[in-house]
Amino acid sequence: MANTPTLRGFATISFFAADHDAARQWYTQLFGVEPYFVVPGYVEFRVGDYQHEFGLIDSRYEVGGPATKPGGAVMYWHVDDVKSMFEKLLSMGATEHQGIINRTEGFVTASVTDPFGNILGIMYNPHYLAVLAARRV
């Protein structure tokens, strides 16, 4: 196990929402799948190429109480078309956190604040696609 990386990959990302039921509906619409795990105050979805886990927690369980504004780290999800996804998120009631930015070497990013106060990042990431292609060989 000496060659095993210490941080092996994202296991679960958790977002909080005061209106947990509305957030569950919003993310079900965004992901196009129902949560696979449901208990009062918590639901979990499996999404994307690697079936990453996305947890949605009722904000009354947030350590230190509910946040008053968006903040913290931004998790970027790879998307094939940043502009289309950005427009979709805005049409679903999200607000712009950071507009579309063309980064170096083909990387493109944007982020929104979902209707529940969480920052959701989206990104076109050539490295992600290269890793995905290598795993499918």
Residue spans of the domains in the chain: they are 1-61, 70-137
- Rounded CA-CA distance 119/137 in Å is 34
Average pLDDT score, the chain: 91
What pLDDT score was predicted for residue 82? Answer: 97
CATH classification code of 1-61: 3.10.180.10
Q: Do domains 1-61 and 70-137 have the same CATH topology?
A: yes
Average pLDDT over residues 52-66: 89
What pLDDT score was predicted for residue 80? Answer: 95
What pLDDT score was predicted for residue 5? Answer: 74
Residue in 22, 31, 18 with CA at minimum distance from that of residue 77: 31
What pLDDT score was predicted for residue 136? Answer: 79
What pLDDT score was predicted for residue 2? Answer: 63
CATH superfamily, domain at 70-137: 2,3-Dihydroxybiphenyl 1,2-Dioxygenase, domain 1 (3.10.180.10)
